Amino acid sequence: MNVSEYTDLVEKRLERNFDIERNINFLNLDIPLFAKMEMFNEKYFASKQVKVWRAENYEYIFLKDFSTINEKTIEDFQKFLINALEELVDPHNEHMSSVITGVMVTSNFPEDLENKIKKFKHKKIYAFSFKGWAEVRLMVVSLHSNRVISNRKGKEVQDFYLPTGIKRKKGIINFFSK
C-alpha cells in the first residue's frame, strides 16, 4: 500500500462523521488530508427555549506523509500540532474538549525513535476546566510493517489508523460470532 492509497482509505473511514478537506496549507505546512468533527450536546427543560446546558466537542485530524522520519521531523510536527491547537481551539463557556490528532505516514519508521512518539504529551486546560480542555494525539503509521506507534492519548484510536484494517479485540461479542 502506498501513501495515496492509505490517505484514500482513511478518508473513506472518516467521511461519515467528519468534514474532510484534501491538499490544504495550514500554518505553512502542506497537509494531504484534514478532517474536522464538531459534536454538540444539549439538555433542555420543558422546551428548546429553556436550555439547561450545552457541551461542545471538537476533533481535528492532520494526516501528513513523510518520505523519511528523523528526530527533527518529529519535533517539527509536534510543534505544528501544538500551534494548530492554539489556532483552532476557541475556549468558551460551552466548550468541553478539543482533540488534535496528528498522523505521520511513512513507508518505514526507525524503531529507535519510537520513544520520541510514545513520550509526547500536550494537554491544555482552560479556566480550571470551566472552559474545557484540549489534547494532542500523535501517531506514526508505518505502511511497510503495518504498524501504528502512538503517544498515550493516541492509543484510544490507533487501531483505526492501521493500514490493513481494525484489529478485533477478544471479548464476549467475538466469542459468540465464531
What's the burial of 174, exposed, middle or buried (CB within 10 Å: 0-12/13-18/19+)? exposed
CA distance 5 to 155: 23
Task: List the chain pLDDT tens, one digit each, 178 residues.
Answer: 899 999 999 999 999 999 999 999 999 999 999 999 999 888 888 888 888 888 999 999 999 999 999 999 999 999 999 999 999 999 999 999 999 999 999 998 988 999 999 999 999 999 998 999 999 999 999 999 999 999 999 999 999 999 986 666 555 444 444 4
Look up residue 13 and give its DSSP letter.
Answer: H
CA distance 30 to 170: 39
CA distance 94 to 77: 29
- Domains in the chain: boundaries: 3-176
| Alpha carbons within 13 A on the beta-carbon side of 156 | 7
pTM for the predicted model, two decimal places: 0.88
Amino acid at 136: V
Terminus-to-terminus CA distance in the chain, angstroms? Answer: 29
